[in-house]
Amino acid sequence: MGSKDDLKAMDEDLFTVIIGGQAGQGVKKAGEAVSKFFLEKGRYVFEMDDYQSLIRGGHNFASVSSSTEELFSHHMGADVVVNLDKTSYEMHKEDLTPDGLNFYNSDEIENGDGIGLPLTSMSKEFQRPKLILGVAGISILAAVVGEDKDSLVSLVNSVYPRGKEDNTAFSEMVYDEVVDKVESTLDLKEGDCRNRMFPGNHVIAMGAASAGLDIYFAYPMTPASSILHFYASHGDKLGVTAVHPESEIAVANMAIGATIAGARSMVGTSGGGFALMAEAFSLAGMVESPVLFVLSSRPGPATGVPTYTEQGDLGFALHQGHGDFPRIVASPGDMEEAFYLTADMLSLLWKYQTPGIVLTEKHLSESSMCMDVDPSKVRTVEPRMHEEDTGYKRYLFTEDGVSPLKFPPSKEAIKWNGEEHDEYGITTSRSEEIAAMHEKRHKKEVVIIEDLKDRHTVNVYGSGENVIFTYGSTTLSVREALRCSGIEAKVVQPIYLKPLPTWELKKHVNDRSIVVEQSVAQQFSTLLEDKIGLEPTSVIKRYDGRPFDPMELAEKIEEAIK
């Protein structure tokens, strides 16, 4: 097993399945079933869903990679490819490892390469022939690796609870057909992974909830929508209210309003929606409201490519909102970090009363991966409060610029003001007061930097002469590329992007540094050039909406560090 490319993955146990078909054929669900199958074998799993912005038709696929070792990305070199339709067959021809098995729908393709199965005709017998097609995925896999039929049936029934009889029958039909056609079974080792897997957005949602989130506001926008859906379904249980208002502008302003009532609030969106929140973001800076913004990027500009991945919003996120005010921007490099970091960010923002951003991308938001987190390790910081009944000033000058909070009901008025104001929160245009309040807010920026200096702000993986700078979900691609290729290199990933932990990053700068990112304008590399004087020998970038394939990336890295 391994990769389709010249460079062969060094992980002997790597096993990848790709299932492709039309939207509405249950491709995503098929991926889930495969993931579950691997998980039950104690294997580590990474699932990436590639789909288009449409509800039926088009071409979708799920790539599910697994191994007995911890792994960080899906692969595009597959050991088993299941093509439910013709388009899929054509698209994934190249995605096969040398020994890989290619299954195609022989009702749509005559004399294809690989193993033809008359999937469409087989499915015709059943009530929902189109929807049932996806069940073929896991059935083929089970047959190929020699899983017994009973186990297959029970897995199918747990993943597809509706229409059990039909599913069982179809699944058995496919299984038998494959056993008939494939001579020998492939070997699949069991592992000792005990973790469950989750999509990044659910992890982010759970991280925020564990740190005390009260209310989540969002307007649907791919790839952030599943956070909203998560809270809408599970919020009752977790004590998090989910609200879907008329627009992103309403979202952001409501979220600020909620903080005034004392509620911890978060919003989530993608680039276009985040753009609409610019004014409110600035308002949060001015009134000192700790709203947490989740920005999950997709290719831009404008509406871009809604269901794909990119890192083109970095500069925008770092400079969001007009005027001078402090903000914290952080980006998780994997699922576990997404959990802890979201929790930390919520606490940090409440500590410093300023808005902040968890910046991520479709690749992390919507991919699923095994994850081992311990919610009890979440640090929660209680914000500074004014406990007395008298003497309250919302914008009290303090040494660190942080004024104690107070929430209604309150005997004394608590005045949050989006115009420039005095300590009480009354509007001012007096020069000394303007200057003093600017300094107060600016102080927090300084204090936040000091705080971050005591925190873990940069992840370093591996070691070696060669240094690879990356961030966000691209970290997953880089780590998997190194893991599978055996290339020796040190991966440096800033978790915080503003303030940027230059003090840490500078330690790693050398003349054998490269940058890996997903932006045509190489925004991340530019940031490092600007802030730590990095002069990368090469910038590896991908900007076609797809995450890197680890083996392809490994080749590029190898070339770059030669």
Ligand X SMILES: Cc1ncc(C[n+]2csc(CCOP(=O)(O)OP(=O)(O)O)c2C)c(N)n1
| Binding stretches for its own copies (CB under 8 A) | 52-53, 249, 271-272, 274-276, 278-279, 281-283, 285-287, 297, 299-308, 310, 312-313, 315-316, 318-325, 418-420, 428-429, 431-432, 434-435, 438-439, 441-442, 445, 519-521, 523, 530-531, 533, 543-546
Q: Which residues contact 507 (CB under 8 A, 6 or more apart)?
A: none
User: With contact defined as beta carbons under 8 Å apart, do 260 and 416 qualify?
Assistant: yes
Tell me whether residue 410 or residue 463 sits nearer to other proteins (CB atom): 410
Q: Rule CB under 8 A: is residue 297 a binding residue for other proteins?
A: no
Q: Rule CB under 8 A: is residue 117 a binding residue for other proteins?
A: no
Q: Which residues contact 371 (CB under 8 A, 6 or more apart)?
A: 195, 196, 197, 198, 203, 335, 336, 339
Cβ at position 448, least distance to ligand X in Å: 28
Cβ at position 17, least distance to other proteins in Å: 23
Choose from ligand X, ligand SF4, its own copies, none: what does 221 bind? Cβ within 5-8 Å by kind: ligand X
Choose from ligand X, its own copies, ligand SF4, none: what does 55 bind? Cβ within 5-8 Å by kind: ligand SF4
For residue 129, whether the previous peptide bond is cis, meaning omega lies within 30 degrees of 0, is no
> Residue 49: what residue type?
D
Site for ligand X in 193-222 (CB under 6 A): 219-221
Choose from its own copies, ligand X, ligand SF4, none: what does 315 bind? Cβ within 5-8 Å by kind: its own copies
Segment lying near other proteins (by CB under 8 A), choices 236-244, 292-300, 463-471, 503-511: 236-244
Count the neighbouring beta carbons within 10 Å of the beta carbon of residue 146.
13
Tell me whether residue 56 or residue 162 sits nearer to ligand SF4 (CB atom): 56
Task: Give residues in contact with ligand SF4 (CB under 6 A).
Answer: 55-56
Q: What SS3 class is residue 129?
A: helix
Q: What SS3 class is residue 244?
A: coil
User: With contact defined as beta carbons under 8 Å apart, do 177 and 82 qualify?
Assistant: no
Nearest position to ligand SF4, beta carbon: 55
Choose from other proteins, ligand X, ligand SF4, none: what does 198 bind? Cβ within 5-8 Å by kind: other proteins
Q: Rule CB under 6 A: is residue 272 a binding residue for ligand X?
A: yes
Q: Rule CB under 8 A: is residue 256 a binding residue for other proteins?
A: yes
The pattern of x and - marking residues 41 through 70 that bind other proteins according to CB under 8 A reads: -----------xxxxxxx------------
Strand 368-371 vs strand 467-469: parallel, antiparallel, or unpaired?
unpaired
Neighbouring-strand partners of residue 292: 266, 356
Tell me whether residue 27 or residue 364 sits nearer to ligand SF4 (CB atom): 27
User: How many angstroms separate the CA atoms of 425 and 352, rounded?
Assistant: 17
User: With contact defined as beta carbons under 8 Å apart, do 298 and 306 qualify?
Assistant: yes
Cβ at position 52, least distance to its own copies in Å: 5
User: With contact defined as beta carbons under 8 Å apart, do 76 and 546 qualify?
Assistant: no
Angstrom distances, CA of residue 544 to CA of 96, 158, 296, 497: 21, 36, 17, 24
Tell me whether residue 278 or residue 426 sits nearer to ligand SF4 (CB atom): 426
Choose from ligand X, its own copies, other proteins, none: what does 533 bind? Cβ within 5-8 Å by kind: its own copies
Q: Which residues contact 138 (CB under 8 A, 6 or more apart)?
A: 30, 33, 34, 37, 152, 155, 156, 159, 171
Q: Which residues are at the interface with ligand X (CB under 6 A)?
A: 219-221, 248, 272-273, 276, 303
